[in-house]
Amino acid sequence: MKNKFLVLLMVVLFMVSVFSAVQAQETERFVMGIEDEVSNLDPGETTISVNERVASLLFDGLVEYGEANKIVPGIAEDWTISEDGLEYTFNLREGVMFHNGQELTAEDVEYSYQRILNPDYGSGLRAKIESVESIEVLDDYTIKFTLSEPYAPFILAMTFGIVPKDYAEEVGDEELGRSPIGAGPFKMEEWDAGNQIVLSAFEDHWNKVPNIKELVIRSIPESATQAMELRSGGIDFGVNLDVGQLESFTDNPDYQVKSAAGAGINFLGFNFEMEPTHERKFREAVIQAVPFDQIIPQVFGILGERAYSMLPPTLWPEEREFLKENAVGFDPEAAAQKFEELKADGVIAEDYVAQVYVSNSRPNQVKTAEAMVTALNQAGLDAEVQAMEFGTMWDMLGRGEIGMFFLRFVSDPDPDYWLYRFFKSPEEGGALNRAFYSDEEVDQWLEEARAISDQAEREELYNKVLRKVLVEDLVFHPLAHSTQIYVMQDNVRELEPGNSLLIPLVTPTSNVYKE
Amino acid sequence: MFAYIIKRLLWLIPVVIGVSLILFGIMQLVPGNPAAMMLGTNATPAAVEALNEKFGFNEPFHVRYFLMLRNFLTGELDSIYYGDEVINIISRRLTATIELGLLSMIIAVLVAIPTGVIAAVKKNSLFDLVSMFIATIGISVPAFFTGIIFIYIFSVYLPFLPSSGYGGRIWTLSGLRHLILPAFALSTVMIASTSRITRSSMLDIMKEDYLVTARSKGVAEKIIILKHAFRNALIPIITNIGNQLAMMFGGAILIESVFAWPGVGRLAVSAVEARDQPLVFGSILILSILFVLVNLLVDIIYVFINPQISYK
Amino acid sequence: MKKKIILFILLLIQIYISYQNWIIEGKIWSKLEYKFATVFSVFIIILLLLLLLKKSFFLKFKENALYAKMFKEFNKGYGGKIAVIILALIFYSAFMAPFIAPYSPTEIDYSNMTYSAPSLEHWFGTDDFGRDMFSRVLYGARIALGVGFAAVLVNASLGVSLGLLAGYYGGKADMVIMRLIEIWNSIPFILLALAIISALGTGIFNIIIAVGITGLINFSRLTRSIVLQIKEKEYVSAAKALGASDLRILYNHILPNSISSLIVLATLRIGISILVVAGLSFLGLGIQPPTAAWGTMLNRGQEYLIQAPWMSIFPGLAIIITVLSFNLLGDALRDALDPRQLD
């Protein structure tokens, strides 16, 4: 009897503690700062980074990114891929609700993807699903995608947000971008354009109801201001701080600074259709002249990690060791000698001044360029920094007017998204081949790798590509993988950086709250 | 008077045409296109091309210009980047800009005019020297630096006020609290220049004969200063305030960036960066119209202060 | 006597600096910046010698009644005198930076890339690349003054010519020109500069253009009003009656009479131009690194405001002191050159 009473008491106590724990996790209001202004939240159009991240809170996709960017089930419970890799059949969960109380069905999924496929709609996401031949609704909860050719990274495109067909058709694309309705964990409350967006927890979410009841997302473009806001308690969480500001938070017990290998790569590129960057000897001399191994840690600090591969550390072709060992190292004397020889041979013109182009909105790259130019001058090559607005630089790059440039690139976790665009010949679909590099072998490897689905085989092909372009031909020189840094107040829990295309407030593994 | 106002309002027509031509011309020279900016580094050339077609970016120069001007006048101009009507985007921000400008002006007037008058009356006193020296410093500091220092002092070091952002309309407590720091930071230049002008125009006026006469007649010094001298000194002061205010609506860009203030100036900067031509067009035109209207207002105020001036 | 001793000491210092650089370090003519510094130090030495040995050379100026009066007015307040001394120092450091800066402003010691607080070796501390802030601030004076003067020169020559044309010809020409300038003026200048730099690209020359062609209204309005005043004066009508050409009248009669007001305005505008360039650096459109420029340094310093405040304080102070001096000088000149007093 007594024992029973004790057990009961303990059960009650346990229940109370569990309950109170749950109670404590509920967070009334959570304020975060982002680096730019959100312009449009239509998930079909969001190729602009901040839009994409905020939209990921409002919309859910068929599948989601889980831990270490593995694909896990989202709205789709499970799926099957046919042997030939051409047919993807998804089974949707029943009872998934949109914010307006409608149930999500296969019709909505079809609509969401057809919309992006429509060329008139002009979506930047279209390139990722171009291989779709047809979309078939089998029943309310089953949908089948048929591809025209096998495309290994296709499953990543299934993370696109699903929009409610009825609503989208009724109000139109523009209105959808301004008053978004999705099936994500948060719903739109108030959008004070240019200032802040207020979201609230969606209580009928199919999976997890957020602990955060009211989420305020403020756009604070100046990183100095964002640092001040963190200090004054104006925001709980900030993502956009420069190295100098971060340093003052890392050893401060009132703040948590968390980092995760990010998906971005900062690299130095050369133009293959311009003199003298066309010469391998010149490219090698430039890389040898600059002590990148010393500059990168100083400039990027905890915001970056010295890179030797174009692919982020979280992505699979594990070729880093080889690339690191064979990377061109710092050797100022050799560089100076090469520059002299090139000048004597007339490859470097008498009045040549190397122009290093960099986007002025990336302070770390500007600093790296600054240090690099100083080193080049010391090695006997006249050089200048051209820090310009990204729009101007991007246009000049496209027209092939830039010899040496710094760029940063972020994409989804599949090597195809990265290497194909960079190194495939420009005429054959290398959309980002700003080096104007063209090599038949590389073209062939890249084409093969996207068609097979066996990861080991693909890995081998991508390794070949990386060795060829980074070690043999020196097309690009990888500088730093940007690390994702979150700075938050010390009472924030379960907020872990991971995928830089998301804001991980509610993920399969976490549900952020304030203590 | 009425006819004069109409005439001045008609002046807006050449301003709109002139400014729009200049803007459109410069935007033609700026490399880059909005579609490439919107689609970012992940875009394929085909996607960029399709988007350019959709926005009519491939039409010839004059067709686009007239289309843009017509759409601006009818309020149908669509922003590329925001996918919304320019008029909607701007109207949300215009209040923020005007609130900031007005409060700065009020602060500046309340601080600067008394300072200038006292400095003039007590010429070469310690107050005069110190206040004018501070005023000269005030016009010598880069505005964004003032902003950062203000945030550090009044929001981090002494946590009185929120550091940035827009808190609501000016009459709400939160709105006012958010407004104070940027308004002070913005008003430093205006305080400085207005107090300097006030002092010098007061000094000029006090040398005039009729004041000397009044003084010799035994009119009390206070009355002389406030009633006669100050009233006559107001004209250059108001001209200056008008100029400053007009500059402020456009020149607040740096302050708006530092304080993450959702104003038209910052919008225009990001529009230029995104190569969003309709929005650049719309937002800068609105700022220019505001500029002309403020100047008109200043001219009207002249009449109320000095009935001898009349506009026919 | 006291003055002579001071001059003599200055001369010794200057000769010592030149000796160190020319003889010991061999920095005379090998680079453009050395050439400037060499010429400048020769100039300073000659000037000091003249002051020491040939006093009468400068007495001539003092004898001229007009200059004497100006000089007296100018000396009334402290502001003008202090400004002249500070500006002289800034000019001196601008020209002599390669000779007096203790370190190179751009070279980086890659093994020691980190900031350090002000110390005896580095008076203003070092920046996040380990470069000496004192040397960088000294070198920055060249950019600030150079860009400031050049921009105002562009601004003044455009504004003055437009103002002269409008004022002298009057009527329709006047209306059209002034209206156009008003329209130009109603576009916010930072946005205009931003668009121009986006179109032309960054670089010192483009920045000078962008700053130089904004705010034309100040010079043109001033010139126009002066021209309108002078045009009615007798000697101008007389010259006209005698058949002097328009250009001749403008050049011989109108320009000399407006020069004093223009100098005052130009002095004030130099300060404003320096501020505008600093503002552009804040938007990332300033002078390109690694060139040492105050605005760019100040903007960079913001990032380290908490841990390394010296990175923003010294360039910030340099800007404030320079602009302040130009403003004080402008005020003093306005008092000294006041046309009403000179008439």
Give the other-Cβ count within 10 Å of A259's Cβ: 17
Nearest-Cα residue of chain B relative to residue C272 = B140
Complex-level ipTM beyond the 0.95 threshold: no
Is B22 an 8 Å CB contact of chain C? yes
Say if residue A276 is preceded by a cis peptide, omega within 30 of 0.
Answer: yes
Q: Is A383 left (phi over 0), alpha (psi -120 to 50) or beta?
A: beta
Which of C32, C110, C112 has the most A C-beta neighbours within 10 Å, making it the best mutation to test the interface with A?
C110
| Same domain, yes or no: A83 and A229 | yes
What is the rounded distance in angstroms from the CA atom of residue B201 to the CA atom of residue B237?
8
Contact A256, A73 (CB under 8 A): no
Write out the residue range of the structural domain in which residue A33 sits.
28-253+489-512
Q: What's the CA gap between A408 and A49, in Å, rounded?
A: 13
pLDDT at A222: 87
Distance from CA of A339 to the nearest CA of C (A): 19
Quote the domain boundaries for residue B148: 93-263+290-303
- Judged by a CB distance cut-off of 8 A, whether residue C217 touches chain B is no
Q: Which of the pair, C255 or A268, is modelled with greater confidence?
A: A268
pLDDT band at C63 (very low <50, low <70, confident <90, very high): low
Locus of tokens 């179109």: C199
Which CATH number characterizes residue B211's domain? 1.10.3720.10
Domain shared by A245 and A306, yes or no: no
Cβ atoms of residues A186 and A213 within 8 Å: no
What average pLDDT does this structure show over C144-158?
Answer: 93
Q: Which residues on chain A are in Cβ contact (under 8 Å) with B44?
A: 127, 429, 431
Question: C188 vs B249: CB contact, 8 Å cut-off?
Answer: yes
Does B57 touch chain A if contact means CB atoms closer than 8 Å? no
**Residues A368, A222: one domain?**
no
**Which of A465, A435, A469, A468 is closest to A270 using CA atoms?**
A435
The answer to whether C307 faces chain B, any CB pair under 8 Å, is no
Q: Which residues of C are less than 8 Å from A366 in CB distance?
A: 284, 289
CA-based nearest distance C198→chain A, Å = 7
Residue B260 Ramachandran class (φ > 0 left, ψ -120 to 50 alpha, else beta): left
In whole angstroms, how far apart are CA B61 and each of B25, B32, B57? 9, 15, 9
Q: Which residues in C lie closer than 8 A to residue A388 (C-beta atoms)?
A: 201-202
Chains with 3 or more CB pairs under 8 A to chain B: A, C
CA pair distance C151, C143, nearest whole angstrom: 12
Euclidean distance between CA atoms A376 and A378, whole angstroms: 5
CA distance A71 to chain B (A): 21
Tokens of A256: 């948590």
| Residue that the structure tokens 């309340």 belong to | B110
Which chain A positions have a beta carbon within 8 Å of B273's beta carbon? Answer: 389-391
pLDDT of residue C61: 63
DSSP states of A448-467:
HHHH---HHHHHHHHHHHHI
**What mean pLDDT comes out for the span C144-150?**
93
Torsional class of C107: left (φ above 0), alpha (ψ -120 to 50), beta (otherwise): beta
Cβ atoms of residues A43 and A487 within 8 Å: no
| Cβ-Cβ contacts under 8 Å for B164 (sequence gap 6 or more) | A220, A225, A228, A229, A234, B151, B178, B258, B259, B260, B261
DSSP labels for C20-85?
IIIIIS--SSSSHHHHHHHHHHHHHHHHHHHHHH-THHHHHHHHSHHHHHHHHHHHHSHHHHHHHH
E-strand spans in A35-112? 63-65, 71-73, 76-81, 87-92
End-to-end CA separation in angstroms for chain A: 39
pLDDT in tens, chain B (312 residues): 788 888 888 888 888 888 888 888 888 888 877 777 777 666 677 777 777 777 777 778 888 888 888 888 888 888 888 878 888 888 888 889 889 988 998 999 999 999 998 998 888 889 988 998 888 888 888 888 888 888 888 988 888 888 888 888 888 888 889 999 999 998 888 888 889 888 888 888 877 767 677 777 766 777 777 777 787 788 888 888 887 877 776 668 888 988 989 988 888 888 888 888 888 888 888 888 888 888 888 888 877 776 665 554
Pair (A107, A139) in one structural domain: yes
Partner-chain contact C307 A248, CB within 8 Å:
yes
Handedness of CA A353, A358, A363, A368 (dihedral sign): negative
Q: How many domains does chain A have?
A: 2
Asked if the model's pLDDT at residue C339 lies above 80, the reply is: no
The verdict on residue A327 lying in a domain is yes
Nearest CA in chain C to A295: C110
pLDDT of residue B239: 81
- Dihedral (CA of A443, A444, A445, A451) sign: positive
The span from the CA of A479 to the CA of A463, in Å, is 19
How near does any CA of chain A get to the CA of C289, in Å? Answer: 6
pLDDT at C325 over 90: yes
Decide if A194 and B92 are in contact by the 8 Å CB cutoff. yes
**Candidates A288, A299, A360, partner chain C, best to mutate (most C CBs within 10 A):** A360
Cβ distance of C108 and A366 shorter than 8 Å: no
A488 contacts A237 by C-beta, under 8 angstroms: yes
> Which residue does chain B place closest to A264, by CA atoms?
B41
**The dihedral sign for the CA sequence A240, A244, A246, A249:** negative
State the Cα torsion C137-C140-C145-C148 to the nearest 10°: -120
pLDDT in tens, C304-324: 888 889 999 999 999 999 999
- Pairwise CB contact (< 8 Å): A384 & C114: no
Residue B165 distance to chain A (closest CA, Å):
6
Would you say residue B118 lies in a domain? yes
Closest-CA residue to A188 (of A342, A20, A54): A54
Are residues C289 and A388, on separate chains, in Cβ contact within 8 Å?
Answer: no
Which residues of chain A carry a pLDDT beneath 70? 1-24, 46-47
Burial A302-314 (b: 16+ CB within 10 A, else e): ebbbbbbbbbbee
Domain assignment present for residue A224? The answer is yes
A8 CB contacts (<8 Å, ≥6 apart)?
A: none
Residue partners of C24: CB distance under 8 A and separation at least 6:
none
Kindly state the tokens that stand for B277.
Answer: 């031509």
Interstrand relation of A142-147 and A87-92 (parallel, antiparallel or unpaired)? antiparallel
Say how far apart CA A59 and CA B293 lie, in whole Å: 45
Res C341 pLDDT > 60: no
- DSSP-based three-state secondary structure for A268: strand
Rounded to 5°, the CA angle B81-B85-B90 comes to 85
Where do runs of H (alpha helix) occur along B143-229? Answer: 143-151, 173-206, 209-216, 221-223
Q: How many domains does chain B have?
A: 1
Within chain B, where are the H helices?
2-10, 12-29, 34-39, 45-54, 61-74, 86-121, 126-138, 143-151, 173-206, 209-216, 221-223, 230-251, 253-258, 264-273, 277-305
Give how far A95 is from chain B: nearest CA, Å: 32
Residue A5, both tokens: 């009473």
In angstroms, rounded to a whole number, what is the distance separating the alpha carbons of residues A463 and A461? 5
Overall average pLDDT of the C223-233 stretch: 80
A contact test, residue of C303, C304, C307, C310 with most A CBs within 10 A:
C303
CA distances from C90 to C104, C118, C277, C318, C335 (A): 18, 21, 18, 9, 23
Assign B42 to helix, strand or coil: helix
Q: For residue B55, what are the CA distances in angstroms to A392, B52, B277?
A: 19, 5, 10
- Cα–Cα distances (Å) from B302 to A24, A271, B1, in that order, read 63, 62, 12
How big is chain A, counted in residues? 515
Residues in chain C with CB shorter than 8 Å from the CB of A249 are: none
Show the DSSP H helices in A353-483 as ranges.
363-378, 390-398, 415-423, 440-451, 455-466
pLDDT at C343: 35
Say which of C198, C202, C302 has its CB closest to residue A224. C302
Verify that A225 and A308 share a domain, yes or no: no
Tell if the pTM clears 0.90, that is, is over it.
no
pLDDT value for A455: 85
What A112-117 contacts at long range (C-beta under 8 Å, 24+ apart), as own/partner pairs, is A112/A43, A112/A44, A112/A160, A112/A161, A112/A162, A112/A163, A112/A165, A113/A145, A113/A160, A115/A44, A115/A163, A115/A168, A115/A173, A116/A44, A116/A160
Whether A205 and A345 share a structural domain: no
Q: C191 and B29 in contact by Cβ < 8 A?
A: no
Residue A429's φ and ψ, nearest 5 degrees, are 110, 10
| Any A CB within 8 A of B31 CB | yes
Mean pLDDT of all residues in chain C? Answer: 84
CB A245 within 8 A of CB A253: no
- A207 and A266 part of one domain: no
Look at phi and psi of residue A494 and say left if phi exceeds 0, alpha if psi is from -120 to 50, else beta: left
pLDDT, residue C338, reads: 64
Place of tokens 């668009």: C195
Q: Which of B19, B137, B143 sits opposite C187 (nearest CB)?
A: B19
- Chains in contact with chain A (at least 3 beta-carbon pairs closer than 8 A): B, C
Nearest C-alpha in A relative to B145: A224
Give B75 to chain C, closest Cα distance, Å.
20
Q: Is residue A345, in this structure, part of any structural domain at all?
A: yes
Q: Residue A260: enclosing H or E segment and its boundaries?
A: strand A255-270
CB pairs under 8 A between B and C: 113
Please tell me the predicted confidence (pLDDT) of residue A268: 95
* Strands A383-388 and A27-34, bridge-based pairing: unpaired
Neighbouring residues of A463: CB distance < 8 A, sequence distance ≥ 6: A317, A319, A322
Domain C62-342 has CATH 3.40.718.10: no
Interchain contact, B54 vs A126, CB within 8 Å: no
Could you tell me what percent of chain A has a pLDDT over 90?
49
CB atoms inside a 10 Å sphere around CB A29 = 12
Q: Do A244 and C107 touch (CB under 8 A)?
A: no
Instruction: Give chains near C: 3+ CB pairs under 8 A.
Output: A, B
CATH of the domain at A118: 3.40.190.10
Structure-token pair, residue B309: 């001036």
pLDDT recorded at residue A15: 56
Q: Distance from C276 to chain B by nearest Cα, in Å?
A: 8
Contact A391 B31 (CB under 8 A): yes
